Structure 1
Amino acid sequence: MKVFVFEKLFRKSAVVSAFLQQYRGATRQMQIIIQEYKDEYGVSVWDMNDVAEYAAKRGWKLPTPLTPMQLLAKEFAKAAREETRPDEETSEEYRVNHAVFDTHEGQRTLWGDIDRAPRAFMVKSFVQRRQQMVGDAWQLAVDVGRWNRVHANEEAIQVEFDFGPDIEYRRHFPDDNEKAG
């Protein structure tokens, strides 16, 4: 807690800002700058482009731009992620290409075609995607709980976490998916 008080009292100092960015991690420093921006402008809703400009004007080091090869790889990953085909039996659109985040030889993402990738690869891909969903659902539950406690004088926000009915609805009314998505 002493470090947090230190941050709060001295976060506008360029020396302290550089110290925190180097030794506490850029993520924590970014969170401090976001809070400083909200405090200075008195906003409860904001655009991160404005925060980035705010930080840059205060000496935040701009990131190294991606190389053309990195940008191209990102574009290919996006294209791979978006490729779908209709299932021959159900006519449901399925994702063709699936990713696995791998740290075996550094950090990288490997891609596999659902119709050709080995079972072990697809199991890992599906487990990673499910874990992302669980993580998102858990954080949503925590966030909704927080909002409901802070705004106890308002009608509580209810979020349903049983996705079975949603999946069945989409299976039976696929045209509604396009309108909603």
Structure 2
Amino acid sequence: MSTKNQRLQNIIKLYRQRTGNESVDMHEVAKFAAEMGYQLPKPKTAIERLAEQLSAAAREEVRRDNVTGRPYRANLAVVQWVNGSQLTLWHDIDVAPRRIAQKAFVQRREQMVGDALQLTLDINHWNRVHEHEEPIVMPLDFTDDVEWRLNAPDADDKAA
């Protein structure tokens, strides 16, 4: 038995086969799936949509440190599971206790590690199947990149 994601992946493959398009717009694939009789998901409620907008606003809120003048994100997100459902709780960084801040920072770091791992796997695969081309090399030590951006003339505007 296939998972929902596997069924959706099969629809994408079928769309590519039928249209010959290598680059696909998922809105077009969704129309294709609906025309094939795929059951459309239940629309989000107004509360669900507003909660998403509030989360996006919290994620984007930036303040400036009153000593350094540097920007920082005003809110920390901590993801946890409650009764089998994922829940994200938002905390003001200036009043969050250490245990909350550390958990939020560890989760963000884990996201970065996961992204770096997947990037490495993707690059390794591309390099293997395109062995006749110059390999793509992507360093994952960000120490110098972060230092350069911290010291760039416009770093304060882009750090957050």
**Same fold at TM > 0.5:** yes
1:82 to 42, 57, 60: 60
Deviations 1:101-127 (A, max 9, x none): 111354211010111011111111111
106, 109, 114: which one aligns with 1:130: 109
| 1:6-155 paired onto structure 2 within 5 Å | 23-105=1-83, 106-155=85-134
Normalising by structure 1, report the TM-score: 0.81
Aligned to 1:9: none
- Specify which structure has the higher proportion of helix: 1
Q: What letter corresponds to residue 46 of structure 1 in structure 2?
A: V
- Measured against aligned partners, the alpha-carbon deviations of 1:18-61 in whole angstroms (never above 9, x if no partner) come to xxxxx522111001111111122222211111111111110111
Q: How many residues align?
A: 158
Secondary structure at 2:131 match in 1: coil
Q: Among the aligned pairs, what percent are the same residue?
A: 46
Bigger Rg, which one: 1
SS in structure 2 opposite 1:51?
helix
Give the counterpart letter for 1:39 in structure 2.
Q
- Whether the 8 Å contact between 2:70 and 2:156 is mirrored in structure 1 is no
Q: TM-score, normalised by structure 2?
A: 0.91
Structure-2 change in CA distance of 1:130 and 1:168 (3 Å) = same
Task: Select the structure with the greater relative contact order (CA < 8 A; seq sep ≥ 6).
Answer: 2
Instruction: Structure 2: give runs of 5+ residues left out of the alignment.
Output: none
